Amino acid sequence: MKNVYENMNFNIDPDDSIAGTWTEYFLGIPIDIERGLFNGVFEIEFDKKKMRKFVRQGNKSLIEFLNKKNISAIELVNHTQKIGAAMPGLGTDTLDKRKINPYKIRKGDKKILLNELIPYWKGKTIADMLGKAFKEANIYPGEFEDFIESLPRITCQTDMVTSLGSALGVWQGHLILDHETPIKKGLLIMCNEVQKKIKENAYKNHKELEFLRSIEIALEGVIIYARKLAEKLKEELEKTTNPKRKKELSEMLNICQNVPLKLAETFYEAVQSYWIVKTAVELAVPFNVHAPGRLDQLFYP
């Protein structure tokens, strides 16, 4: 992620009074390829031929499972239609051609994604490792694994289904981040504290040392994100001619040059500090699954 922060760009919308975005576009979302949840979606659902092949393979697995259980596929379809349910299906439109929430990607980026990034991470993602660990641990009871793998799919998304009512995601979520410490201390002091522990050998073993180093890298990454955001605000300020917007951007720049690097001293700074940390973290986990916690207490003077 530190590399992402170093090379990304930002969007500053004319209506923004709080700065910080995921991408350089007004609407845009990062792809967490290393987790692997949507790699299959990108690999298959941009190409109609691959989609048809995926559907054929899925139908074949379903029919083989039904035959194994002496269940008539025709009777199953008829029963499904009779009760008013629709058989799940992948559809025929590719990601970029769908009427609802089409996924738009530049041609050059798509080429890099499909030909370089996804092949590189094949077999190395968290989803891949979880799937392998599930099978090795014999976590599925009886023929449950065959049943799950034989179900018709409406997406090529990788989900780790553990029972009829639960699935194990490959992302971190439903967590409340510690926003209080950046607001009250600032990232620079937090990073210095970690570096001091490393320098003074204030750890018990190599595992703790690696953990401290990972915190240092993470903090340095968010610091880079915050500084680059301030640079973008400065660029926008210099090219803006509207007096009202110039005043707004000037205030935003002054605040972002201070927080979250240093402690927040005003309500405005506290909100901006919170938003930068939240947005930077969610670049790594782009699902909005990090709860804000008690903002009324967090922002209280």
The per-residue pLDDT for range 23-54, each reduced to its tens digit, is 888 778 888 888 888 888 899 999 999 988 98
Cα pseudo-dihedral 104, 107, 108, 113, rounded to 10: 60
Can you tell me the distance from the alpha carbon of 195 to that of 186, in angstroms, rounded to the nearest whole number? 15
Task: Show me where the domains of the chain are located.
Answer: 2-28+174-298, 39-168
> CA quadruple 95, 101, 103, 104: dihedral positive or negative?
positive
The two tokens of residue 291 are 């709860």
Q: Is the pLDDT of residue 166 over 60?
A: no
According to the model, what pLDDT value does residue 152 have? 67
Highest mean pLDDT out of 2-16, 92-106, 123-137, 179-193: 179-193
Question: pLDDT confidence of 123, banded at 50, 70, 90?
Answer: very high
According to the model, what pLDDT value does residue 87 have? 59
Q: Is the pLDDT of residue 173 over 70?
A: no
Between 85 and 237, where is the model more confident?
A: 237
Q: Is the pLDDT of residue 267 over 90?
A: yes
**Relative orientation angle of helices 206-239 and 187-199, to the nearest 10 degrees:** 150
According to the model, what pLDDT value does residue 238 have? 96
